[in-house]
A and B are shown apart, each in its own frame.
Chain A
Amino acid sequence: MSSKFSIFKKGLLDISPLLIPVIPFGIIFGAIGIELGFSPLITYATSLIIFGGASQIVFIQLLSGGASSLVAITSVGVINSRHFLYGAVLTEYLEKLSLIKKLLISYLITDQTFAVSNKYFKNHKINNHSHYHLIGAGVILWTTWQVTTIIGIFLGSIVPEEWGLKFAIPLTFLAIIVNDFRKLDHVLVMIISGISSLIFFDIPFKAYIILTPLIGLLSALIIIKFKKKI
C-alpha cells in the first residue's frame, strides 16, 4: 500500500502540467481586479473565498460594469454548478471519509483537481490513503492560484499576452481526455458537447458551461442504450 506522502506527491506531480496556464491566468486576474478599481484586499479575497478562476473574472467584471450583485452572484453560481457533476463522480471514491474530512477536501475540487484525481481514482485500487492524491493536487493548485493572484495585484500583468499562454487552457484539458480518444462512444459525446458549447456560448449567465454537460450526458445515455441493442 502506497504511503500517504507518496500518493500526495503523485497528485502534486500529476497536476503540475496543468498549472502552466493557471500561473498567467492568476496574474491576469489579480491585475484585472486592480484595473477595475477593486481594492487589493477584496481582489485577493475572491481567490480565497470563491477560488474559481473563470467565475471570479466574470464576477468582478460584472460588478465593475454596474451589474447588480444578484446578477454577479447568480453568474458565479451557474458557472460553478459544474462542481455538482464533479462531486457526483468523486463521491464514490471519498465515501469512507469522515464528514469533516469530506467538507475540507471539497474546498479543493476544481476542474484541474477533478481531472487528474478522477483519472487516478479510476486507474488505482482505492485504499484509505487514496484521497491524498486530491489533497496533493489541490494544495499545489490552491497555492499557485493564491500566489499568482497576489503577484498580479502588486505587479500587474507581467506575463505578456503575446505569449499566447491562454491557449494552454484548452490544451491542458485536451491532454486530460486523450485517453478516451480511442473510444467511439466517448468521442461522440465529446463532439456533441463541443458543438453544443459553441451553439449555446452566448446564452445568459454563461449557462452553456452547465447546459452543455447536461446535453452531453443525455446523449451518453442514448448512446449507452443504443450500444446495448447491437
Chain B
Amino acid sequence: MSWISVIIAGLITYFTRFSMITFVNSKMMSKKVRLVLSYVPSTVFPAIIFPAVFYNDFGNLVEINDPKIFGIIAAIIIGFFSKNVIATILAGLIVYWFLIF
C-alpha cells in the first residue's frame, strides 16, 4: 500500500515539474503574464521564510526577542548592502548562534 502511494505521489510531483516546461512556451504567454511571473521568487520564497522565522515548532508566533528575529534582521541588513549569498547566510547564522549558545 505504501509503495503505491509513494509512486503516485512521485508521479504527481514529477507532473508538477515537467508540465509547464513541456507544454507551455513563452510564445503562449503574453508580456504581462511574463512580467507577473517575474515576481515568483518574491512571492514563493517569503512563504517559506516567514513561517520558518515567525512561528516556532508548535505553530505559535515567536516572541519579539527570539534569536531567529535578530538573525533574520542581521541577514537582511548584510544582504541589502552586500548582495552576497554567503555573507547573508553567515550573518544570520552567526548572530543566531551567538544568541543561542
Chain B residues near A202 (CB-CB < 8 A)? 59
Query: Is A175 engaged at the interface, CB distance under 8 Å to the other chain?
Result: yes
Interface size of A in residues (CB-CB distance below 8 Å): 88
Contact pattern, A 177-214, Cβ under 8 Å of B = 1, otherwise 0: 11111100110011101111110011000001100110
Contacting residue for A171 out of B34, B35, B43, B92, CB 8 A: B92
- Contact in complex: B41, A180 (CB < 8 Å): yes
Query: Is B40 engaged at the interface, CB distance under 8 Å to the other chain?
Result: yes
Contacting residue for B21 out of A52, A106, A186, CB 8 A: A106
Contact pattern, A 23-59, Cβ under 8 Å of B = 1, otherwise 0: 0000000000000001000100110011110010001
Query: Is B42 engaged at the interface, CB distance under 8 Å to the other chain?
Result: yes
A69 to B17, CA, bound (A): 22
User: Least Cβ distance of A110 to chain B in Å?
Assistant: 9
Chain A residues near B86 (CB-CB < 8 A)? 17, 175
- Contact in complex: A195, B50 (CB < 8 Å): yes
Query: Is A107 engaged at the interface, CB distance under 8 Å to the other chain?
Result: yes
User: Least Cβ distance of B15 to chain A in Å?
Assistant: 9
User: Least Cβ distance of A124 to chain B in Å?
Assistant: 16
- Contact in complex: B55, A175 (CB < 8 Å): no
Q: Nearest 5 CB-CB pairs, A to B?
A: A216-B43, A87-B20, A178-B79, A49-B10, A106-B18
Q: Which residues of B are interface residues toward A (Cβ below 8 A)?
A: 1-10, 12-14, 16-22, 24-26, 29, 32, 34-55, 59, 67-68, 71-72, 75-76, 79-80, 83, 85-86, 88-89, 92-93, 96-97, 100
* 15 pairs from A and B in contact (CB 8 Å cutoff): A50-B9, A59-B6, A88-B40, A89-B37, A91-B21, A94-B21, A99-B22, A171-B75, A176-B45, A177-B42, A178-B85, A182-B80, A193-B44, A197-B46, A209-B47
